[in-house]
Amino acid sequence: MPRLLTELPHESLWAGDIIRLVHNYDLGPESGPVDLMIYDPRDSDVGMGLMVVSGYKSGLTLSVFPKASCGKGKRSLETSWLLSHWNDWFCYTYVTDELGKPAPVPVEGTQVIQWDEREIVIKDNADSRPA
């Protein structure tokens, strides 16, 4: 069951967890959601990373966070760090604020889907198959 990121202020997020942004960072406000999966870049000098898993940029790395984003002695992404640094990491590509800087994607409405609470669903196109 998806939960709002803002309701998880002191949680650890792990490889395979999904962060669902309410708006696609690349397409702009009201463009619909985009899913980002947390992954471990296997580099002890950095923290966890985010890979795009929906939309036309699927499979691309969005970001790799600094080591400070990890929990003490854990390979996780801490929501307390993520929430306090949100506007530094989640900005629209082509939308700017009044100062001409990239506008932040709103954190409100962002959901977390943990790796053990999701499943892959295949659409059944039975009606479109030849008889």
Tens-place pLDDT, residues 11-48: 999 999 999 999 999 999 999 999 999 999 999 999 99
Q: What is the pLDDT at residue 72?
A: 87
Tens-place pLDDT, residues 86-130: 999 999 999 998 999 999 999 999 999 998 776 666 777 655 555
Q: What is the pLDDT at residue 92?
A: 95
Q: What is the pLDDT at residue 116?
A: 74
The Cα 48–Cα 76 span in angstroms is 6
> From edge to edge, which strands make up the β-sheet containing 111-113?
3-4, 111-113, 18-21, 34-39, 46-52, 61-66
- pLDDT(64) > 90: yes
Q: What is the pLDDT at residue 120?
A: 67
The Cα 90–Cα 113 span in angstroms is 18
Residues 6+ apart with CB under 8 A from 49: 38, 39, 40, 41, 61, 62, 63, 64, 65
- The region of weakest confidence among 5-9, 55-59, 115-119 is 115-119
In which region does residue 30 sit, left (phi positive, over 0), alpha (psi from -120 to 50) or beta (all else)? left
Q: What is the pLDDT at residue 109?
A: 96
**Residue 103 burial (CB count, 10 A):** 18
Q: What's at 52, amino acid-wise?
A: V
